Amino acid sequence: MSRQPPEQQLPPVQRLRVRYAKRGRLRFTSHRDFSRAFERAVFRARVPMAYSSGFNPHPRISYAGAAPTGSASEAEYLEIALAEVVDPVAVHELLEEALPDGLDVIEVVDAATLPPGSLADLLTASRWTIDTVAEPAAARAAVAAFLAEESVVVERMTKKGLREFDCRAAVVSLEVADTTDSTDTARLDLVLQHGVPSVRPDDVLTGLTRLTGLEIGPAPLLTRLQQGPFDAADGTVGDPFRR
């Protein structure tokens, strides 16, 4: 008895790109857990999703540049493909209501109005803040020593085992940020270029502490503030939703 071929789905008629934040305790949500929560949210919100073809159709959702588990972020991105043309503002409101507090939708835009290229191609750099318990003067000295190095090699366990790589090469800028409060702890401002292997802010912290012995505390808070195209002229991170 021959098996019937799977039903072929119609191509999407619209693509929306979503910027969302991971805040508070929800920063500990893994990427897998978030993807499940988001799929439930689009189902509850009755967003007219386009589905893949095959024997197990799934909603067409593309994720790009997810922050490491435990990191807060104001600049996470994904793209959804739709079977009907909808108002991005309405989808924003529906998703905001369907997602739990701490997974917060910031902006939803029609991909047709954005610069050409895939979402992943536009996310080539990130800007982070890192809150440590280090004394500011000691942190400035450690940052200067780190930036003076041509290469700082670190190790990280990956799916393919323990991997060794240079964390210094991806660092565009690193400095102790000026703060308006009177605390005697250091907040680091870090701009990273994305590449292969992907260097994370915790890799930079590992390299910084191993190189200089800087005491940063047991659980520095990592927060991604921006993610987007890298401007090599001035070393800044652009907005992937703006031309």
3-state SS string for 155-196: EEEECCEEEEEECCCCEEEEEECCCCCCCCCCEEEEEEECCC
Question: What is the rounded average pLDDT for all residues in the chain?
Answer: 92
Query: At which residue do the structure tokens 């589905």 appear?
Result: 51
Count of residues making up the chain = 243
Q: How far is CA 48 from CA 15, 18, 43, 62, in A?
A: 11, 15, 9, 16
**Amino acid identity of 98?**
A
Provide the residue-wise pLDDT of the chain in tens; the chain has 243 residues: 456 666 677 789 999 999 999 999 999 999 999 999 999 999 999 999 999 887 788 899 999 999 999 999 999 999 999 999 999 999 999 999 999 999 999 999 999 999 888 999 999 999 999 999 999 999 999 999 999 999 999 998 877 888 899 999 999 999 999 876 667 899 999 999 999 889 999 999 999 999 999 999 998 999 999 999 999 999 999 999 986
Q: Across-strand partners of 73?
A: 22, 224
Read off the pTM: 0.90
Angle at 241 between CA 97 and CA 93, to 5 degrees: 15
**Amino acid identity of 191?**
V
Instruction: Kindly list the structural domains of the chain, giving each domain's residue range(s) and its CATH number in brackets, ordered by start.
Output: 14-121 (3.30.70.580), 124-237 (3.30.70)
